[in-house]
Amino acid sequence: HLETDVVSTGDLPEAAVVENMMQQTYELHVDLSEGTVASYIPKLAEADPGWFGLTLASATGSRFSSGDSQQEFSIQSIAKAFVYALVCDAVGHDEVRERIGVNNTGLPFNSVMAIELNEGHTMNPMVNAGALTTTSLVSGSTWEEKWEFILQGLSAFAGRDLELDEGVYASEMETNMRNLSIARLLQSYGHITVDPARVIELYTRQCSLRVTTEDLAIMGATLANGGVHPITGTQVVGADVSRDVLSVMASTGMYEASGDWLFEIGMPGKSGVAGGIVTIAPGKGSLATFSPPLDAAGNSVRGVHATRHLSHKLGLNLF
């Protein structure tokens, strides 16, 4: 059971307190042994279930880490939030709300039934149906240009040039029948109007970018900071776009467990099947965790527990 919460005061505690808290959070959760490493993408099954990294980045660019914060892993579904931000910035609030939606499906991230139950609607950008449609809307007159738009955009969020994990990309492309079926189904409903096979390539590439918790925390801190990268000073997306992305992350970022997440943690978050989670404290900063064993909804077990602990200890719950 949790101790009494720290009440939010508007700022993060001083550096020495945060540093101490990150170390303590690592030690408290490193021995948790629940969860299963994803294996439906064969390459992901090679991950060490013991990996556990944490980074908190403030909205002014200070970073505090513990554990395996330099270990690279594929960003997977966490890319959905950032590609959505780039597309929102390009096409606008009303268009993305109408075409992609903002409501939770209550069903797993790759559910076909969710599409059928909602008369072909994609529902939201954080499940595969909405993410594939979002990716299909990326700017560029060739597929190469569209990839450059995603790669440059996500790299601008991170403040460094991100690279593709070729092994993960090849492994997912070989086993991607379900996503291809979802893209074709969306094409049949008129939501995807370009070649579904090329959309799958682009989407799988964005999922295969390598990041560390240090990258993810600073990507999240850019959203916490109104779209301005805390270190490079680049305005990556508009402040209104950052707000829109955070609201849809809050309602749908943790899939069918989004309500539990918001109830326990009280902040927008986004998970990926390689074991990453990014959580955003608007105006304050962002916490990133990485640990491969996942729960039934596909969210990292150590990540969920550690984020809950830090949310309470640092007074980050928005409510």
User: Binding residues for ligand DON, per CB under 6 A?
Assistant: 76-77, 109-110, 128, 172, 179, 207, 271-273, 298
Q: CA–CA distance from 282 to each of 6, 12, 304 (Å)?
A: 17, 11, 19
Instruction: Report d(CA 104, CA 123) in Å as an integer.
Output: 7
Minimum Å gap between C-beta 270 and ligand DON is 9
Give the sign of the dihedral formed by CA 232, CA 234, CA 235, CA 236.
Answer: negative
Minimum Å gap between C-beta 140 and ligand DON is 21
User: What is the Cα 126 distance to its own chain's centre?
Assistant: 8
151: which 2 tokens?
A: 């790669």
In the bound state with ligand DON, the residue whose beta carbon lies nearer, of 22 and 154, is 154
In the bound state with ligand DON, the residue whose beta carbon lies nearer, of 64 and 84, is 84
Q: Which residue's structure tokens are 């990507």?
A: 219
Is 168 annotated as belonging to a binding site?
Answer: no
In the bound state with ligand DON, the residue whose beta carbon lies nearer, of 265 and 314, is 265
Minimum Å gap between C-beta 146 and ligand DON is 17
Instruction: Report d(CA 204, CA 109) in Å as an integer.
Output: 15
Minimum Å gap between C-beta 16 and ligand DON is 34
Tell me which residue of 301, 312, 225 sits closest to 21, measured CA to CA. Answer: 312
Instruction: Report d(CA 133, CA 151) in Å as an integer.
Output: 18
Is 118 annotated as belonging to a binding site?
Answer: no
Alpha helices in the chain (DSSP H): 15-29, 78-91, 93-99, 113-117, 128-136, 143-158, 166-174, 177-188, 196-207, 213-224, 239-252, 258-265, 301-313
Instruction: Report d(CA 122, CA 112) in Å as an integer.
Output: 10
In the bound state with ligand DON, the residue whose beta carbon lies nearer, of 82 and 109, is 109
Name the amino acid, one letter, at 88. C
In the bound state with ligand DON, the residue whose beta carbon lies nearer, of 68 and 165, is 165
User: What is the Cα 274 distance to its own chain's centre?
Assistant: 11
Minimum Å gap between C-beta 110 and ligand DON is 6
Angle of helix 177-188 versus helix 196-207 axis, rounded to 10? 130
Q: What is the DSSP string of 109-128?
A: TT-SHHHHHTTT----TTSH
In the bound state with ligand DON, the residue whose beta carbon lies nearer, of 106 and 238, is 106
Minimum Å gap between C-beta 226 and ligand DON is 26
In the bound state with ligand DON, the residue whose beta carbon lies nearer, of 172 and 244, is 172
Is 103 annotated as belonging to a binding site?
Answer: no
Is 256 annotated as belonging to a binding site?
Answer: no
Is 169 annotated as belonging to a binding site?
Answer: no
Helix (H, G, I), strand (E, B) or coil at 59: coil
Minimum Å gap between C-beta 199 and ligand DON is 12
Annotated binding site: 77, 128, 172, 179, 203, 255, 273
Annotated binding site for substrate: 77, 128, 172, 179, 203, 255, 273
